[in-house]
Amino acid sequence: MPGLDLTGRVAVVTGAGSPTGIGFAVCRRLGQLGAAVTLTATTGRVHDRVRELRAEDVDAKGVVADLTVPTAAEGVVAAATDRWQRVDILVNNAGMVSVNDRHAMSGGVSGLPYDDWRHSLRRNLDTAFLMTRAAVPAMQRVGWGRIVMVSSVTGPVMAMRADAAYAAAKAALVGLVRSLAVDLAGDGITANAVAPGWIATGSQTEDEVGEGGATPLGRSGTADEIAWPVAWLCTPGAAYLTGQCLVVDGGNSVAEQRAR
């Protein structure tokens, strides 16, 4: 179907090192729609994901990068353009925590050191800003682009206890999306966010599994169930959708009654 065809398009997906994570699931779906993919992670495991994608006939390249460093974002985009001469799609999935950084956890305002606040914002918000700033010129050159932020229901829709910095950063991603949507519409570039709820990735805790069971659908979502809407937002068929935040949470944010 032409509206779903990404043949000839080049995507960059950040935070795609985990084999069970949303980022890698997005890479798979974009590749199946025809896109070539540059994926990033903070460790060398990104190259394992590249080998898996190539085994599925997806043209892929991996880059190890700490995207809180401004020059790293520029390097990722340069790696993609050197290989394929273009970047059409950017999925900003990096954030939360990484396997080599356990200091990005949040806390309540009264007990949250300022350095920890800034660290969480750098990982969850600044990475998206830096990657977007680096990728937009390549999209403007071809007059076509898709930017998708992987936000969260935490922040834009609701909040958890003792999670101030994470909630603030994820809410700010939606504000960034709306600003980009207005500024870049004339260049043929759309910008949207997806807000996942409880998702069964390798980092999900037992408490989170229980929370997922309390949603109207009675379970946590899968990484692939986030990857599909992300991938659709990257397609030609999503051309008239911009500046929006799509909540994908099994109905959790609309359920007024939780007791069964």
Catalytic residues, by residue number, are: 166
- Residues 215 and 207: beta-carbon distance below 8 Å: no
Tell me the CA end-to-end span of the chain in Å, nearest whole number: 42
Name the E strands within the chain: 10-13, 36-41, 60-64, 89-92, 145-150, 189-196, 245-248
Neighbour count for residue 202 (Cβ, 10 Å)? 10
Q: Which residue has the tokens 């504000």?
A: 175
Burial tier of 57 (Cβ tally within 10 Å: 0-12, 13-18, 19+) = exposed
